[in-house]
Every structure is written in C-alpha cells, then in structure tokens.
Amino acid sequence: MRNGGAGMEKALSNQEDLGGGRGMTDDIFDESYCEKKGPKPARRYVWRNIILMSLLHLGALYGLWLIRAAKPVTLAWGFLCFLLSALGVTAGAHRLWSHRSYKASLPLRIFLAIANSMAFQNDIYEWARDHRVHHKFSETDADPHNATRGFFFSHVGWLLVRKHPDVIEKGQKLDLADLKADKVVMCQRRFYKLSVVVMCFLFPTLVPWCFWGESLRNSFFLPAILRYVLVLNATWLVNSAAHMFGNRPYDRNINPRENRLVTFGALGEGFHNYHHTFPYDYSTSEFGWHYNFTTAFIDLMCLLGLASDRKKVSKETILARKTRTGDGSHKSG
C-alpha cells in the first residue's frame, strides 16, 4: 500500500491534521486515484523545446570549456548566482509556495520571487501547481514527471513533450487559492518573461562585464548559461535519480529515496523518501543543517525575523513511521 495507507493517520498523530497543520493537504498522496485503463495517449514531441534545450546544453558545454580562461572572481560570481537561483527554487517555489512549510514576510517573499526568476523554471504558480500534483499523484499518469516512465522522462523528457491529460485534469482540481491570494506570486507570474530576461541572463552577465572587466563571452556563458544549466540539472535529479537510487528508511512502499549526491547538489533536497513521507516538514529531512543549506537559510531568516512558523515533524512520529514502514536502513546508517 502506498504511503503507508491507513496507518498514516496514526503515524501523524502529533500533527494537527494530515497536512501538518498548514490548512492544506493537496500535496499529500491520494490513494483513491486510478489510472485510466486502455492504451496511453500518443507521445507528442514539442520540437521548439527539444531544440532550445539542446542548444542550451551545448552552450553549457562551451561554458565548461571556457572555465580555464575565466577570472576567479567570475567563477565566484557564478557560484553565488547558483546559490541565489537555487534558493529561489528550494526555499521559495518548493518549501514555501508548494508546501507552505513555513511563513515568509513580504521582503523575503519578494527576494525569493526574484531569485526564482533567476532560476527560470516556470513561474512560481506553475511550478507549485505541477509540484503539488507530483506529490498527490506521484508515479502515476497524473504526475508531470512520472518516474515510472524512466530516468530520461523524469529528468528532462517531460519538458519536451505534451503533458498527459490526467496531469491537467487533476491539476485543475487542486486548491491553489493560497497562491492566487499571494500578490508576490501573481506579480511574478504577470512579469515573468521580463523578470527572466533580466535576472537569469542580463544580471549574471552584466555584473562581471561591468565591474571587473571580464569578457562578454565568459560573462554570458559562465554565470548565466552554465550556472542556469547546472541549477536545472540539480533540480531535475531530484525527480529522476532521487526517485530511483537510494534507501527508503521512512517508507519502503514508495519510490522516492534518500540520495546523498542529489542532496549535496540540490542544497538539501535529496532526502526525498523523507520528503514524500512528510511533505510539510520545512527541512525536508530529520537531520537539520546536515547537507542542508536551504534549512540553514530558512533558520537564518527566522532569526532575522523575516520568516516564522516552521513546520517540523516530531522525533517520535519519525521513529514510529520508520519502524512501521521503513526499509530498516536507518539502523545501519
């Protein structure tokens, strides 16, 4: 039985409700959904995306080649841009807007929305909608990046073909009122294209070119293109590798796994067995700051008074769940 089945309510007894006291449950796995019988719809390629994604990755390969000729400060800037755009996804689109696992003040939400545009992964509204449907209908036709369709599909292939109709049908039934009510989310959606041009491409390129005389070629291909492609692939690995390789200490009945390599590259987002078991935990892990830069960032924001109300699963609940549905690997780890 997926997600521990009927016993789940018992395991979550320390929580206010199945949604962990957030007032939302649309990221909790829905066992009642059944895939439609009969032949699957034909795969429809989106050639524009295939061509652009290929060109982007060729550009990133060229960026790798250029590293040897770049100034160290440009590489440091590229790394900073990686961290900023990654936080826009991890602390922003993921933990705040998809899961409502903590609350953020207006200045922090504005910062995260700008950082999110730097990551250019669809606007926050679309990202969070697709991500909620991923949790609710994980590994089924209604999951946008259904990992049972293979590594390539769950990694990038899903962005190169039309969605399965069930993704759209089920997505339309989600409660997205919280996203619609958030002016920062809706403003980013309204000005998304402009914000991406400025934050993902112009800003990372112009800073090294203007401030320390880096060549325009290095400034564009390293902090803009290569950094963008690295953040994309680190994110996609959560959907592919962390749904296939690793232990399942919390729930052996689901595919998502604990993957150390992904955790490292994705600022703490590779504890994926834990995350699908307890999607409302702001830390996406039971181990605090361990390999989890995003958790450290959210904690710092709380310290500064810019965030609050972090949702955390109790140690007792975690242990009970491990004992009941885990694969036993925590004992050896």
**Residue ranges in contact with ligand ST9 by CB under 6 A:** 46, 49, 86, 89-90, 94, 120-122, 127, 129-131, 133, 159, 162-163, 167-168, 171-172, 231-232, 234-235, 238-239, 266-267, 269
Partner whose footprint covers residue 87, from Zn ion, ligand ST9, none (CB < 5 to 8 Å by kind): none
The Cα–Cα gap between 173 and 9 comes to 23
Residue environment code for 250-266, b if the CB has 16+ CB neighbours within 10 A, otherwise e: bbeebbbbbbeebbebb
Closer residue to Zn ion (CB): 3 or 74 = 3
Asked if 226 and 78 touch (Cβ cutoff 8 Å), the reply is yes
Stretch that binds Zn ion, among 68-76, 181-189, 209-217, 249-257 (CB under 5 A): 249-257
Partner whose footprint covers residue 308, from Zn ion, ligand ST9, none (CB < 5 to 8 Å by kind): none
* Distance of closest approach, residue 128 Cβ to Zn ion, in angstroms: 9
For 255, the token pair is: 């595919």
Closer residue to ligand ST9 (CB): 69 or 300 = 300
Between CA 199 and CA 195, with CA 181 as vertex, the angle to 5 degrees is 10
By three-state DSSP, how is residue 305 classified? coil
DSSP assignment of 253-275 equals TSS--B-HHHHHHTTS--BHHHH
* Distance of closest approach, residue 5 Cβ to ligand ST9, in angstroms: 24
* Distance of closest approach, residue 131 Cβ to Zn ion, in angstroms: 6
Partner whose footprint covers residue 125, from Zn ion, ligand ST9, none (CB < 5 to 8 Å by kind): none
Asked if 182 and 116 touch (Cβ cutoff 8 Å), the reply is no
Asked if 257 and 247 touch (Cβ cutoff 8 Å), the reply is yes
Stretch that binds Zn ion, among 30-38, 101-109, 167-175, 250-258 (CB under 5 A): 250-258
**What radius of gyration, in Å, describes the C-alpha atoms of the chain?**
20
* Distance of closest approach, residue 305 Cβ to ligand ST9, in angstroms: 26
Q: Which residue is nearest to ligand ST9 (CB)?
A: 171
Closer residue to Zn ion (CB): 224 or 241 = 241
Q: Which of residues 185-244 bind Zn ion (CB under 5 A)?
A: none
The Cα–Cα gap between 239 and 139 comes to 10
* Distance of closest approach, residue 232 Cβ to Zn ion, in angstroms: 16
Closer residue to ligand ST9 (CB): 172 or 323 = 172
* Distance of closest approach, residue 266 Cβ to ligand ST9, in angstroms: 4
First and final C-alpha spacing in the chain = 25
**Which secondary-structure segment (H or E) carries 81?**
helix 72-87
The Cα–Cα gap between 323 and 250 comes to 8
* Distance of closest approach, residue 188 Cβ to ligand ST9, in angstroms: 14
Closer residue to ligand ST9 (CB): 106 or 194 = 194
**Residue 111: how many other CB atoms lie within 10 Å:** 20
Partner whose footprint covers residue 232, from Zn ion, ligand ST9, none (CB < 5 to 8 Å by kind): ligand ST9
Closer residue to ligand ST9 (CB): 219 or 292 = 292
Give strand pairing partners of 161.
Answer: 45
Residues contributing to the site for Zn ion (CB under 5 A): 256
